[in-house]
């Protein structure tokens, strides 16, 4: 019963803090002004994601005190999340060069991996593959990529929040299916409720944006939670990759096409598939709801088959991603010509 009260309190605290941050952003003129690369048309305060950061980080020591969260996992999440959030907060208030942001991101990834015990062996086609030091390197790149792609995908109202909530709720269910005695599902449940309080203010039409502090924080939290889940059961790493499929596929296809053209991937643009779709439909809400539907009705069942060992992880990943790849190309992910045509 106390657990559910903490769940409710986390969401309420996030909601109240977001309202305070909105007033703070207006007073400090922390406003996103629309330009030719924006997906919004109305000047909007930013930085509301700090409410998610504070609400979630405040819960972690409480879970640790009641032995619902081990000290290494607590240190991994708190240290990495705090470093990324502070960097994002400073970037929201001014500008930090990309190389320094990446340095902090890799440092946070290494910190998180150290306390989680590194990257666990992968399960594929009935075999267990231990990558050793190569696994550490690949895991660090994966964490930093997920952190940054979450920032890239936070471009229309409600999208990053809906993604976090649906992925976290599905992830909690998958952990419970695989390891019903584990308390790891509580982490994702608390993260979902922290985001829920913020989402009240961010649903279309958004009254405040998440900002780099919030999007980067969510990206690294989801990445580290996926690594932690893989230590519980190797199948769960594939499960998390499937659940995060919409963001991973759109961002990866878009980035790949931009890099192949020689463009700077870290510069602002609006050539993601979700941005193209929102311009076609003339609104953010249908795209955000469509992503929620894909997560719940396509990716969660596919992840469930892997979690229940009805489907191999790699096969499940390929099956889940194929329609997402088709959608990415259907909605011109990374297509500069399509962006130029729509701008006319």
Reported as type and span, the H/E element at residue 227 is: helix 211-232
- Known binding residue 212? Answer is yes
Q: Which residues on neighbouring strands pair with residue 187, listed in sequence order? A: none
Share of the chain above pLDDT 90, in %: 75
pLDDT in tens, 33-58: 766 565 666 788 999 999 999 999 99
Is the confidence at residue 232, as pLDDT, over 50?
A: yes
Q: Which of 62, 58, 52, 57 is nearest to 3 (CA)?
A: 62
Is the confidence at residue 2, as pLDDT, over 80?
A: no
Is the confidence at residue 224, as pLDDT, over 90?
A: yes
- Contact between 283 and 277 under an 8 Å Cβ cutoff? The reply is no
For residues 342 and 185, the model is more confident at: 185
Model pTM?
0.94
- Contact between 256 and 334 under an 8 Å Cβ cutoff? The reply is yes
- Known binding residue 151? Answer is yes
In the predicted model, what is the mean pLDDT of residues 13-29? 94
């Amino acid at each position: 019963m106390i657990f559910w009260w903490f769940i409710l309190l986390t969401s309420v605290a996030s909601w109240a803090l977001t309202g305070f941050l909105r007033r703070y952003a207006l007073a400090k003129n922390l406003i996103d002004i629309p330009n030719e690369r924006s997906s919004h048309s109305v000047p909007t305060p930013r930085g509301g994601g700090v409410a998610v950061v504070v609400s979630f980080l405040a819960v972690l020591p409480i879970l640790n005190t009641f032995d619902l969260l081990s000290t290494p996992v607590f240190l991994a999440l708190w240290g990495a999340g705090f470093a990324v959030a502070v960097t994002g907060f400073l970037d929201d208030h001014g500008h930090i060069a990309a190389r320094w942001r990446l340095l902090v991101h890799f440092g946070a990834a290494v910190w998180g991996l150290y306390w989680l015990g590194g990257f666990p062996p992968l399960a594929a086609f009935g075999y267990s593959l231990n990558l050793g030091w190569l696994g550490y390197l690949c895991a660090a790149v994966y964490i930093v990529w997920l952190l940054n792609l979450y920032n890239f995908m936070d471009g229309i109202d409600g999208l990053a929040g809906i993604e976090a909530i649906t992925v976290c709720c599905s992830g909690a269910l998958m952990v419970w299916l695989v390891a019903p005695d584990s308390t790891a599902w509580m982490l994702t449940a608390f993260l979902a409720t922290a985001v829920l309080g913020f989402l009240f203010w961010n649903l279309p039409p958004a009254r405040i944006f998440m900002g780099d502090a919030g999007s980067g924080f969510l990206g690294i939290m989801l990445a580290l939670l996926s690594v932690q889940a893989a230590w519980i059961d190797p199948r769960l790493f594939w499960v998390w990759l499937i659940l995060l499929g919409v963001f991973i596929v759109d961002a990866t296809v878009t980035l790949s096409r931009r890099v192949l053209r020689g463009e700077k991937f870290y510069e602002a643009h609006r050539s993601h598939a979700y941005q193209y779709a929102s311009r076609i439909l003339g609104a953010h809400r249908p795209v955000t709801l469509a992503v929620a539907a894909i997560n719940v009705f396509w990716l969660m069942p596919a992840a469930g088959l892997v979690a229940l060992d009805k489907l191999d992880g790699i096969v499940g990943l390929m099956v889940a991603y194929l329609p997402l790849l088709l959608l990415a190309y259907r909605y011109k992910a990374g297509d500069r010509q399509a962006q130029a045509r729509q701008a006319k």
